[in-house]
């Protein structure tokens, strides 16, 4: 069975005209979301997905999942490829965020942290890194926590760079490939489930993962 092309996926996402009409009635964040979603109907959708994944890890408010889902639904055989694009783009963006924190914090990093309302929690993020980099960064990378704040903080608190990249790759890859895997397995019927429960699912999974790390630490200490 052939996959849907970029011009016949109207049943998967709203067309650009409908998105623009809806966006005109909503706030700036909603309009931005519709702009991201509108790329699913365009030939440059995969390139946009990569670019959004890059900037989302350092500054952009809309997660790449918003575009990953309709792209993967429209071309399910390419779902793994789209997830890989998201993962690589997010790793690159995380490196940029790290640079913002390590070399450009006062001029670039701090305003971003303040914009997202995490100034009061910035020191606590540094403490979390010092306690356990894997849990702190891995949780941020896999769950709805604003990942960009954590990438900037990683640079600001001089988290070791190679472990930072590795944890980013694993946590972001797990999130995006989870979405791709659900779409490959269940197709369009899973979309409503993902829209409603993806954030909750990632939080629960992260909690179980952290619980596993804690349990291993307890058992290893005996």
The residue-averaged pLDDT of 191-214 equals 64
The per-residue pLDDT for range 87-144, each reduced to its tens digit, is 999 999 999 999 999 999 999 999 999 999 999 999 999 999 999 998 899 888 887 7
> Which structure tokens are listed for 199?
């954030």
Count of CB atoms within 10 A of residue 119's CB? 12
The mean pLDDT value of the chain amounts to 82
Q: What is the pTM of this model?
A: 0.78
Q: Is the pLDDT of residue 8 over 80?
A: no
Q: Measure the CA–CA gap between 131 and 213, rounded to whole angstroms.
A: 13
Q: Measure the CA–CA gap between 35 and 16, rounded to whole angstroms.
A: 8
Range among 29-43, 70-84, 190-204, 208-222 with highest mean pLDDT value = 70-84
Among 18-22, 61-65, 161-165, 194-198, whose mean pLDDT is lowest?
A: 18-22
Q: Is the pLDDT of residue 220 over 70?
A: no
Structure confidence at residue 30 (pLDDT): 83
The per-residue pLDDT for range 49-84, each reduced to its tens digit, is 999 999 999 999 988 998 999 999 999 899 999 999
Q: Confidence band (pLDDT; 50, 70, 90) for 201?
A: low
Residue 10: phi and psi, rounded to 5, are -65, -25
Q: Measure the CA–CA gap between 215 and 9, rounded to whole angstroms.
A: 46
Write down the domain spans for the chain.
16-221
């Amino acid at each position: 069975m052939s996959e849907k092309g970029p011009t016949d996926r109207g049943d998967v996402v709203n067309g650009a005209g409908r998105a623009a009409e809806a966006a005109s009635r909503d706030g700036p964040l909603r309009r931005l979301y519709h702009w991201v979603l509108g790329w699913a109907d365009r030939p440059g959708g995969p390139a946009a997905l990569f670019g959004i994944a890059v900037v989302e890890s350092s500054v952009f408010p809309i997660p790449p999942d918003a575009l990953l889902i309709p792209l993967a639904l429209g071309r399910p055989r390419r779902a793994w490829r789209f997830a890989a694009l998201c993962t690589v783009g997010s790793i690159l963006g995380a490196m940029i965020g790290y640079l913002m924190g390590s070399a450009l914090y006062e001029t670039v990093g701090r305003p971003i942290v303040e914009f997202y309302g995490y100034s009061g929690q910035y020191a606590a993020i540094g403490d979390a890194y010092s306690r356990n980099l894997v849990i702190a960064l891995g949780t941020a990378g896999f769950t709805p926590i604003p990942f960009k704040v954590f990438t900037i903080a990683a640079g600001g608190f001089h988290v070791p760079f190679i472990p930072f990249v590795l944890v980013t790759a694993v946590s972001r890859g797990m999130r995006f490939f989870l979405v791709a895997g659900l779409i490959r397995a269940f197709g369009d019927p899973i979309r409503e489930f993902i829209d409603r429960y993806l954030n909750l699912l990632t939080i629960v999974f992260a909690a179980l993962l952290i619980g596993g790390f804690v349990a291993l630490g307890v058992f290893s200490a005996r």
